Amino acid sequence: MPTTADIRNGLNIRYNGKVYTIIDFQHVKRGRGGAFVRVKLKDVKTGRILEETFDSGEEIEIVRLDFRKFQFLYKDGDDFVFMDLETFDQIHVPSDLVGDNALFMKENETVDILFDGDQILGIQLPTFVELEVVETEPGIKGDTVTNVMKPAKLETGAIINVPLFIEQGEKIKVDTRTGEYVERVK
Protein backbone atom coordinates (compact mmCIF):
# COMPACT_ATOMS: atom_id res chain seq x y z
CA MET A 1 0.00 0.00 0.00
CA PRO A 2 1.36 3.47 -0.88
CA THR A 3 2.34 5.80 1.96
CA THR A 4 2.88 9.53 2.38
CA ALA A 5 6.40 9.01 0.99
CA ASP A 6 4.76 8.49 -2.43
CA ILE A 7 2.95 11.86 -2.38
CA ARG A 8 3.68 14.18 -5.29
CA ASN A 9 1.91 17.10 -6.95
CA GLY A 10 -0.86 16.03 -9.33
CA LEU A 11 -1.42 12.66 -7.62
CA ASN A 12 -5.07 11.61 -7.19
CA ILE A 13 -6.01 10.03 -3.87
CA ARG A 14 -9.19 8.86 -2.16
CA TYR A 15 -9.61 10.50 1.25
CA ASN A 16 -12.75 10.32 3.42
CA GLY A 17 -14.66 8.73 0.52
CA LYS A 18 -13.92 11.52 -1.97
CA VAL A 19 -11.38 11.81 -4.78
CA TYR A 20 -8.83 14.62 -4.44
CA THR A 21 -5.89 15.88 -6.49
CA ILE A 22 -2.78 16.92 -4.55
CA ILE A 23 -1.99 20.53 -5.43
CA ASP A 24 0.88 21.12 -3.02
CA PHE A 25 2.60 19.25 -0.21
CA GLN A 26 5.28 19.97 2.34
CA HIS A 27 7.21 17.43 4.39
CA VAL A 28 7.77 18.85 7.89
CA LYS A 29 10.23 17.42 10.42
CA ARG A 30 9.69 18.61 13.95
CA GLY A 31 12.57 18.96 16.41
CA ARG A 32 10.91 16.52 18.75
CA GLY A 33 8.40 13.93 17.68
CA GLY A 34 7.64 12.46 14.30
CA ALA A 35 7.54 14.09 10.92
CA PHE A 36 4.32 14.87 9.08
CA VAL A 37 3.18 15.88 5.62
CA ARG A 38 1.03 18.98 5.13
CA VAL A 39 -1.05 18.60 1.94
CA LYS A 40 -3.31 20.89 -0.10
CA LEU A 41 -6.06 18.83 -1.73
CA LYS A 42 -8.51 19.84 -4.47
CA ASP A 43 -11.84 18.01 -4.66
CA VAL A 44 -12.13 16.64 -8.20
CA LYS A 45 -15.95 17.03 -8.29
CA THR A 46 -16.47 20.40 -6.62
CA GLY A 47 -13.06 22.08 -7.02
CA ARG A 48 -13.01 22.96 -3.30
CA ILE A 49 -9.54 23.27 -1.72
CA LEU A 50 -8.83 21.46 1.54
CA GLU A 51 -5.71 21.46 3.73
CA GLU A 52 -4.91 18.24 5.58
CA THR A 53 -2.04 16.85 7.64
CA PHE A 54 -0.89 13.24 7.42
CA ASP A 55 1.59 11.52 9.73
CA SER A 56 4.78 10.46 7.98
CA GLY A 57 4.43 6.87 6.75
CA GLU A 58 0.61 6.91 6.87
CA GLU A 59 -1.01 4.80 4.16
CA ILE A 60 -2.92 6.56 1.37
CA GLU A 61 -5.15 5.21 -1.39
CA ILE A 62 -4.02 6.27 -4.86
CA VAL A 63 -6.79 6.55 -7.47
CA ARG A 64 -6.30 6.22 -11.21
CA LEU A 65 -8.57 8.58 -13.14
CA ASP A 66 -9.22 8.27 -16.86
CA PHE A 67 -10.14 10.96 -19.37
CA ARG A 68 -12.12 9.62 -22.32
CA LYS A 69 -13.20 11.51 -25.45
CA PHE A 70 -16.95 11.90 -25.91
CA GLN A 71 -19.14 13.87 -28.30
CA PHE A 72 -22.07 15.88 -26.92
CA LEU A 73 -25.18 14.82 -28.84
CA TYR A 74 -28.20 16.50 -27.25
CA LYS A 75 -29.96 17.46 -24.02
CA ASP A 76 -32.66 15.04 -22.85
CA GLY A 77 -34.67 16.58 -20.01
CA ASP A 78 -32.23 17.10 -17.13
CA ASP A 79 -29.63 14.79 -18.68
CA PHE A 80 -27.00 15.41 -21.33
CA VAL A 81 -26.40 12.60 -23.84
CA PHE A 82 -22.82 11.90 -24.91
CA MET A 83 -21.37 9.34 -27.34
CA ASP A 84 -18.06 7.57 -26.72
CA LEU A 85 -15.87 8.26 -29.77
CA GLU A 86 -14.20 4.82 -29.55
CA THR A 87 -17.09 2.43 -28.82
CA PHE A 88 -19.98 4.67 -30.00
CA ASP A 89 -21.89 3.86 -26.78
CA GLN A 90 -24.21 6.58 -25.53
CA ILE A 91 -24.29 7.68 -21.90
CA HIS A 92 -26.62 10.00 -20.01
CA VAL A 93 -24.89 12.48 -17.70
CA PRO A 94 -26.96 14.36 -15.07
CA SER A 95 -26.93 18.15 -15.37
CA ASP A 96 -25.37 18.57 -11.90
CA LEU A 97 -22.20 16.80 -13.14
CA VAL A 98 -22.07 18.96 -16.28
CA GLY A 99 -22.46 22.15 -14.23
CA ASP A 100 -21.50 25.48 -15.82
CA ASN A 101 -19.92 23.65 -18.76
CA ALA A 102 -23.42 23.44 -20.25
CA LEU A 103 -23.23 27.18 -21.00
CA PHE A 104 -20.51 26.63 -23.60
CA MET A 105 -21.40 23.19 -25.03
CA LYS A 106 -23.01 22.99 -28.43
CA GLU A 107 -24.14 19.84 -30.18
CA ASN A 108 -21.38 17.68 -31.73
CA GLU A 109 -18.74 19.31 -29.47
CA THR A 110 -15.96 16.94 -28.35
CA VAL A 111 -15.34 16.90 -24.60
CA ASP A 112 -13.25 14.91 -22.12
CA ILE A 113 -15.19 13.06 -19.42
CA LEU A 114 -13.31 12.16 -16.23
CA PHE A 115 -13.96 8.65 -14.90
CA ASP A 116 -13.08 6.88 -11.66
CA GLY A 117 -13.65 3.32 -12.86
CA ASP A 118 -17.21 3.49 -14.22
CA GLN A 119 -18.26 6.52 -12.16
CA ILE A 120 -18.33 9.91 -13.91
CA LEU A 121 -16.60 12.63 -11.89
CA GLY A 122 -16.75 15.57 -14.26
CA ILE A 123 -16.55 17.02 -17.74
CA GLN A 124 -13.75 19.08 -19.24
CA LEU A 125 -14.41 21.24 -22.28
CA PRO A 126 -11.74 22.40 -24.71
CA THR A 127 -10.02 25.52 -23.35
CA PHE A 128 -11.46 27.67 -26.14
CA VAL A 129 -14.72 27.26 -28.07
CA GLU A 130 -16.08 29.21 -31.04
CA LEU A 131 -19.66 30.36 -30.59
CA GLU A 132 -21.99 32.61 -32.57
CA VAL A 133 -23.47 35.78 -31.10
CA VAL A 134 -27.25 35.53 -31.55
CA GLU A 135 -28.32 38.67 -29.72
CA THR A 136 -26.53 41.91 -28.80
CA GLU A 137 -27.01 45.63 -29.07
CA PRO A 138 -25.62 47.22 -32.24
CA GLY A 139 -22.16 48.75 -31.90
CA ILE A 140 -21.44 52.39 -32.64
CA LYS A 141 -18.80 53.15 -35.25
CA GLY A 142 -15.53 54.29 -33.68
CA ASP A 143 -16.07 52.51 -30.36
CA THR A 144 -12.97 50.33 -30.67
CA VAL A 145 -10.47 52.38 -28.69
CA THR A 146 -11.82 51.98 -25.16
CA ASN A 147 -12.24 48.67 -23.38
CA VAL A 148 -16.01 49.10 -22.95
CA MET A 149 -18.01 45.87 -22.92
CA LYS A 150 -21.65 45.02 -23.61
CA PRO A 151 -23.67 41.86 -22.91
CA ALA A 152 -24.15 39.34 -25.74
CA LYS A 153 -26.24 36.18 -25.88
CA LEU A 154 -24.48 33.21 -27.51
CA GLU A 155 -25.98 30.31 -29.48
CA THR A 156 -25.81 28.09 -26.37
CA GLY A 157 -27.83 30.58 -24.30
CA ALA A 158 -24.85 31.88 -22.31
CA ILE A 159 -24.60 35.63 -21.78
CA ILE A 160 -21.08 37.08 -21.70
CA ASN A 161 -19.53 40.54 -22.05
CA VAL A 162 -18.04 41.38 -25.44
CA PRO A 163 -16.44 44.53 -26.88
CA LEU A 164 -18.74 47.13 -28.45
CA PHE A 165 -17.63 46.35 -32.02
CA ILE A 166 -19.00 42.77 -31.94
CA GLU A 167 -22.20 42.45 -33.98
CA GLN A 168 -25.02 39.92 -34.03
CA GLY A 169 -24.19 36.89 -36.22
CA GLU A 170 -20.41 37.08 -35.66
CA LYS A 171 -18.44 34.14 -34.29
CA ILE A 172 -16.26 34.73 -31.24
CA LYS A 173 -13.75 32.66 -29.28
CA VAL A 174 -14.64 32.12 -25.60
CA ASP A 175 -12.38 30.85 -22.79
CA THR A 176 -14.38 28.04 -21.13
CA ARG A 177 -12.41 28.26 -17.87
CA THR A 178 -13.39 31.88 -17.19
CA GLY A 179 -16.36 32.40 -19.51
CA GLU A 180 -14.72 35.48 -21.02
CA TYR A 181 -14.47 36.79 -24.57
CA VAL A 182 -11.05 36.13 -26.17
CA GLU A 183 -11.24 37.32 -29.79
CA ARG A 184 -13.35 37.57 -32.90
CA VAL A 185 -13.12 34.57 -35.23
CA LYS A 186 -12.45 35.45 -38.86
pLDDT digits (tens, 9 = 90+) for 101-113: 889 998 999 999 9
Last-in-domain residue among 80, 104, 124 = 124
CATH number where 118 lies = 2.40.50.140
Distance separating alpha carbons of residues 149 and 166, to the nearest angstrom: 10
Do residue 56 and residue 9 come from a single domain? yes
Do residue 12 and residue 23 come from a single domain? yes
Residue 105, helix vs strand vs coil: coil
Q: In the predicted model, what is the mean pLDDT of residues 63-89? A: 92
Residue 4 CB neighbour total at 10 angstroms: 18
Do residue 119 and residue 70 come from a single domain? yes
**What is the band of 95 on the pLDDT scale with cuts at 50, 70, 90?**
confident
- Where do runs of H (alpha helix) occur along 41-174? 95-98
Residue 25, helix vs strand vs coil: strand
HSE, CB side, 13 Å, CA atoms: give it for residue 71: 10
Q: In the predicted model, what is the mean pLDDT of residues 33-52? A: 88
**Is pLDDT of 146 > 80?**
no
Do residue 134 and residue 173 come from a single domain? yes
Do residue 17 and residue 44 come from a single domain? yes
Last-in-domain residue among 32, 62, 92 = 62
| Of the candidates 179, 177, 140, the residue with the CA atom closest to the CA atom of residue 156 | 179
Do residue 81 and residue 120 come from a single domain? yes
**Is pLDDT of 132 > 90?**
yes
CATH number where 56 lies = 2.30.30.30
Do residue 118 and residue 69 come from a single domain? yes
Residue 133's domain comprises 128-184
| Of the candidates 75, 65, 171, the residue with the CA atom closest to the CA atom of residue 124 | 65
Residue 135's identity, in one-letter code, is E
- To the question of pTM greater than 0.95 for the whole model, the response is no
Do residue 110 and residue 147 come from a single domain? no
Do residue 8 and residue 43 come from a single domain? yes
Last-in-domain residue among 62, 82, 108 = 62
Do residue 145 and residue 176 come from a single domain? yes
Buried b (16+ CB within 10 A) or exposed e, 126-150: eeebebebeebeebeeeeeeeeeee
Do residue 116 and residue 167 come from a single domain? no
**What is the number of domains present in the chain?**
3
